[in-house]
């Protein structure tokens, strides 16, 4: 009977020498390995499972079933098997001699072990690049089984081999590229050989044409056979230096010698499937040439020791210079961003800082201390993180004005923009964020708006005084009547009630005017928007200005909405816009023989429209182009600020509406459009 140790050792050697494993697809290679494990360990099911990225589950890459069809695709979840996954955390071989009784497998007895009659289990961790990525699961069917140390060691060594095999896949892309290059050069050379009828040229000529050095190292004699290109690319004549391993050492940069031979030694010990190293070589003239060396063991002694290694050497100096130029470009980009006069920051796909301007570091300490490589998920507001994640999907987001609260009582107005940046392959590599503090500008705008509002009140002051004086005169008249009746003692209760009611109505009129002025004159830009009657806004505005307009003989005709509707707004701001437009119409037409102003309100499918038309002629095209420019005015010096229409348009646009001059109207007509409530909700959601 073959000793188990020898059997397992032979299987390990078989793994190392079986070229089909290295040539096959990943699935086929794993299948070959599982077949061999089945053969030497006498286990009926051998499964290979890999962790998901978050380590919260494992998926079945494949399970070899003796005398059956392989399976794949099953999922094991940590949430469903917490005990089993906790045992795997030890990252050691998990041994179960009786799965029906073992704590580690207790969660899977009814769902997995009993249906398949799996009575013993041996799970060996699979490592890649120092991290556990899955398990090799050896399942014994029939009855309990006592696993010995040799079983455990063989399972562990088999899983290690699988891990190394998977690591080699990471180099597969480069291998394909190098193979493609060599194949292309070989084929190109073959075509040239056909044209020149030189069919006897060897592969060495192809490598020479490609400037690829070839080396063949005989470990038993330390001879290192080098082709002509290996010499010429370093500036030597062929065979100018002896073909030994010492020649190779001599041509290496002194600082790279130990690293190169460490990589070679790792391959000779079987720690890597291939030898690969990038290093510096010294040319005959003393210049430095960056080279990429790749090779592998092709012959071994009868006892498995490396005997012959063959490989290629490629000049990659242009690649290294390109990489260095990329680093310089990145440094220049960081320096450029750092010197930008605006607060700008650049992030990668993980939302880690790549670069930021000095203004950013100075102004946005609310976001935490900015430093390269720092992830900002914990420092930034959740809504900003969400916006940055949208930008990573290709969206461009911005706000011209956004009131942001960084802490209770600490609010700033920001103008910000977030957009993705793309790499050389036109793939999104991260996001760029610009966030400018515009609080000072916003404060100035608020002051201008308030000044414009007070200017409009000033222009109306005479009319408002007359509006209040008239009802005061009425009240005074009734008071005089009361005095006369009182002196004669001829005042009846009925007449007294009439006088009181008339005075009460008159006082109410004064109260409405005063309340309207008070509402209108206060700072309202920070008010919350509310749902407010559009008809009522027009009525309250006319309460302030109607008397002045009527005293001049100007008629005001208002066509209210048939079905009064509400809009989401700051009522005082909408009233300010209306008062500004009515004021403009009044001043422009006050000298006309029979001046009139018409206010027409109508409901459209998605909005409400208010037209303010006066008897004036159409405004010329030259003036129309400048109507909404700040500080443009056609009024006399000292009359108005030139800001009314500009501020009014800003107010309406902030309400998601429009303010414009109607070109096609026969008379001077301005139009306000405000969205309906459902339309505003849709705009906000977008």
DSSP labels for 447-496?
HHHHHHHHHHHHHTHHHHHHHHHHHHHHHHHHHHHHHHHHHHT---HHHH
- Residue 255 shares a structural domain with residue 367: no
Q: 234 and 160 share a domain?
A: no
Q: CA–CA separation, 298 vs 425, rounded Å?
A: 38
Longest CA–CA span in the chain (Å) reads: 145
CB-CB neighbours of 334 under 10 Å: 16
Q: Which residues contact 285 (CB under 8 A, 6 or more apart)?
A: 235
**What residues are paired with 50 via a beta bridge?**
59, 134
Q: Is residue 26 part of a domain?
A: yes
Specify whether the CB–CB gap between 294 and 312 falls below 8 A.
Answer: yes
Helices (H), ranges, 489-530: 493-521
**For residue 22, what are the domain limits?**
4-170
Residues 462, 467, 470, CA angle at the centre, nearest 5°?
A: 120
Neighbouring residues of 409: CB distance < 8 A, sequence distance ≥ 6: none
Which CATH number characterizes residue 257's domain? 3.30.450.20
Number of domains in the chain: 4
Looking at the fold, whether 410 and 483 belong to one and the same domain comes out as no
DSSP-assigned states of every residue in 307-324: EEEEEEEEE-HHHHHHHH
| Dihedral in degrees, nearest 10, Cα atoms 456, 458, 459, 460 | 90
For residue 595, the model assigns a pLDDT of: 92
- pLDDT, residue 228, reads 87
Alpha-carbon distance of 560 to 557, in angstroms, equals 10
- Residue 270 to residues 16, 92, 130, 152, 527: CA-CA distances in angstroms? 9, 22, 16, 20, 74
Q: Are 18 and 32 in contact (CB under 8 A)?
A: yes
Those residues whose C-beta lies under 8 Å from the C-beta of residue 135, and which sit 6 or more positions away, are: 48, 49, 58, 88, 94, 123, 124, 125, 126, 159
pLDDT tens digit sequence for 56-94: 999 999 999 988 888 888 999 999 999 999 998 887 889
In terms of domains, do 432 and 451 share one? no
Q: What is the pLDDT of residue 449?
A: 58
186 domain residue, yes or no: no
pTM over 0.95: no
Rg (CA), the chain: 44
Q: Which two tokens stand for residue 28?
A: 């086929």
pLDDT at 316: 92
Which residues sit opposite 126 in a β-bridge? 134
Shared domain for 474 and 621, answered yes or no, is: yes
The enclosing domain of 651 has a CATH number of: 3.30.565.10
Query: For residue 509, what are the CA distances in angstroms to 31, 243, 472, 534?
Result: 95, 113, 10, 21
Residues 248 and 122 grouped into a single domain? no
Residue at which a domain ends, from 114, 146, 170: 170
**CB distance 241 to 231 below 8 Å:** yes
Distance CA 65, CA 82 (A): 26
Pair 427, 454 in one domain: no
Kindly state whether residues 136 and 112 are assigned to the same domain.
yes
Q: What H or E segment, with its residue span, contains residue 436?
A: strand 428-437
Ranges of the chain with pLDDT below 50? 1, 199-200, 462-463, 637-638, 680-686
Residue 182 lies in a domain: no
- pLDDT computed for residue 575 by the predictor: 86
Q: What is the pLDDT of residue 106?
A: 92
> Does 426 share its domain with 478?
no
Is residue 402 within 8 A of residue 408, CB to CB? The reply is no
Residue 153, domain CATH = 3.30.450.40
Query: What per-residue confidence (pLDDT) applies to 452?
Result: 57
Q: Is residue 97 part of a domain?
A: yes
Q: Bridge-partner residues for 509, per DSSP?
A: none
Kind and range of the H or E element at 179? helix 172-196
Confirm whether 564 is domain-assigned. Answer: yes
**Measured distance CA(358)–CA(343) in Å, rounded:** 7
Distances (CA, A) of 650 to 32, 400, 575, 577: 74, 12, 14, 10
The reply to whether 336 falls in a domain is: no
**122 and 217 inside one domain:** no
Residue 378: count other Cβ atoms within 10 Å of its Cβ: 8
- Domain assignment present for 197: no
Q: Smallest Cα–Cα separation from 192: which of 181, 180, 206?
A: 206
Give the containing element (helix H, strand E) for 557: strand 555-559
In this structure, the answer to whether residues 623 and 571 fall within a common structural domain is yes
Strand duo 428-437 + 566-569: pairing? unpaired
Contacts of 197 (CB under 8 A, 6+ apart): none
How far apart are the two ends of the chain, measured CA to CA in Å?
77
Q: What pLDDT is attached to residue 597?
A: 93
Query: DSSP state, 592?
Result: S
610 in a domain, yes or no?
Answer: yes
Out of 170, 185, 203, pick the residue that ends a domain. 170
Please state, in angstroms and rounded to a whole number, the distance separating the CA atoms of residues 383 and 375. Answer: 16
Distances (CA, A) of 267 to 158, 252, 296, 303, 450: 18, 19, 8, 17, 79
**In Å, how far from its chain's centre is CA 40?**
52
* DSSP code, position 13: H
Contact 316, 181 (CB under 8 A): no
Q: What is the structure's pLDDT at 525?
A: 56
Q: In the beta sheet, which residues pair with residue 308?
A: 218, 299
**Tally of CA atoms within 13 A in the half-sphere of 18 that contains its CB:** 19
The confidence score (pLDDT) of residue 264 equals 93
Answer yes or no: do 221 and 141 share one domain: no
Choose the final residue of a domain: 274, 298, 315. Answer: 315
DSSP state, residue 144: -
- How far apart, in whole angstroms, are the C-alpha atoms of residue 157 and residue 148? 14
Output the CA–CA distances (angstroms, integers) from residue 90 to 86, 125, 152, in the order listed: 8, 9, 15
pLDDT value, residue 636: 54
Q: Is 610 helix (H, G, I), strand (E, B) or coil?
A: strand
* 3-state percent breakdown (helix, strand, coil) of the chain, nearest 5: 45, 25, 30
Dig out the tokens for 25 from the structure. Answer: 């697809």
């Amino acid at each position: 009977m073959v000793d188990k140790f020898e059997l397992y050792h032979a299987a390990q050697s078989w793994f190392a020498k079986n070229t089909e494993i290295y040539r096959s697809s990943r699935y086929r290679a794993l299948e070959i390995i599982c077949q061999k494990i089945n053969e030497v360990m006498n286990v009926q099911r051998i499964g290979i499972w890999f962790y998901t990225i978050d380590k919260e589950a494992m998926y079945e890459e494949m399970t070899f079933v003796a005398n059956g069809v392989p399976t794949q695709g099953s999922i094991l979840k940590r949430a469903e098997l917490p005990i089993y996954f906790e045992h795997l955390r030890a990252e050691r071989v998990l041994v179960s001699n009786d799965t029906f009784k073992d704590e580690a497998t207790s969660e899977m007895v009814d769902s997995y072990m009993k249906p398949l009659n799996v009575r013993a289990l041996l799970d060996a961790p699979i490592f890649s690049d120092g991290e556990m990525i899955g398990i090799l699961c050896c399942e014994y069917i029939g009855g309990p089984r006592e696993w010995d140390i040799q079983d455990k060691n063989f399972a562990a060594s088999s899983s290690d081999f699988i891990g190394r095999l998977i690591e080699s896949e990471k180099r597969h892309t480069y291998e394909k590229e190098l193979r493609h290059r060599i194949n292309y050069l070989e084929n190109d050379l073959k075509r040239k050989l056909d044209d020149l009828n030189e069919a006897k040229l060897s592969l060495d000529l192809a490598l020479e044409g490609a400037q690829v050095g070839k080396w063949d190292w005989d470990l038993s004699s330390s001879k290192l056979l080098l082709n002509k290109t290996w010499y010429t690319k370093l500036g030597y004549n062929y065979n100018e230096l002896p073909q030994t391993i010492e020649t190779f050492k001599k041509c290496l940069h002194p600082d790279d010698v130990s690293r190169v031979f460490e990589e070679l030694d790792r391959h000779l010990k079987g720690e890597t499937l291939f030898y690969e190293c990038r290093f510096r070589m010294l040319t005959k003239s003393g210049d430095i040439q960056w080279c990429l060396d790749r090779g592998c063991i092709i012959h071994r002694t009868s006892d498995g020791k490396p005997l012959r290694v063959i490989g290629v050497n490629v000049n990659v100096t242009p690649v290294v210079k390109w990489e260095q130029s990329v680093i310089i470009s990145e440094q220049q980009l960081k320096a450029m961003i750092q010197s930008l006069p605006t607060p700008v920051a650049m992030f990668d796909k993980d939302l880690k800082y790549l670069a930021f301007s000095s203004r950013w570091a100075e102004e946005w300490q609310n976001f935490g201390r900015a430093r390269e490589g720092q992830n900002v998920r914990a420092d930034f507001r959740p809504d900003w993180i969400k916006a940055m994640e949208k930008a990573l999907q290709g969206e461009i987001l911005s706000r011209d004005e956004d009131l942001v609260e960084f802490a209770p009582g600490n609010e700033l107005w920001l103008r910000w923009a977030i957009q993705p940046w793309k790499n050389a392959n036109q793939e999104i590599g991260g996001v760029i964020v610009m966030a400018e503090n515009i609080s000072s500008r916003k404060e100035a705008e608020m002051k201008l708006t308030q000044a414009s509002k007070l200017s409009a009140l000033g222009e109306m002051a005479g009319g408002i005084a007359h509006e209040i004086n008239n009802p005061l005169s009425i009240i005074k008249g009734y008071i005089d009547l009361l005095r006369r009746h009182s002196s004669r003692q001829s005042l009846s209760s009925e007449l007294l009630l009439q006088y009181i009611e008339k005075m009460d109505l008159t006082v109410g009129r004064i109260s409405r005017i005063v309340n309207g002025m008070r509402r209108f004159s206060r700072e309202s830009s920070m008010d919350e928007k509310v749902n407010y009657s559009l008809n009522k806004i027009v009525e309250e505005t006319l309460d302030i200005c109607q008397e002045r307009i009527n005293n001049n003989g100007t008629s005001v005709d208002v066509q209210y909405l048939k079905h009064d509707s509400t809009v989401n707004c700051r009522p005082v701001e909408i009233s300010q816009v209306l008062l500004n437009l009515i004021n403009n119409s009044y001043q422009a037409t006050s000298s006309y023989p029979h001046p009139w102003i018409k206010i027409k309100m109508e409901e459209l499918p998605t909005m409400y429209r208010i037209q303010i038309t006066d008897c004036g002629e159409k405004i010329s095209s030259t003036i129309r182009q400048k109507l909404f420019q700040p500080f443009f005015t056609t009024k006399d010096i000292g009359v108005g600020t030139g800001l009314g229409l500009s501020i009014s348009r800003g107010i309406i646009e902030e309400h998601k509406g429009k303010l414009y001059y109607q070109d096609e109207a026969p008379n001077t007509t301005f139009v306000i459009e405000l969205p309906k409530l459902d339309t505003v909700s849709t705009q906000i959601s977008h």
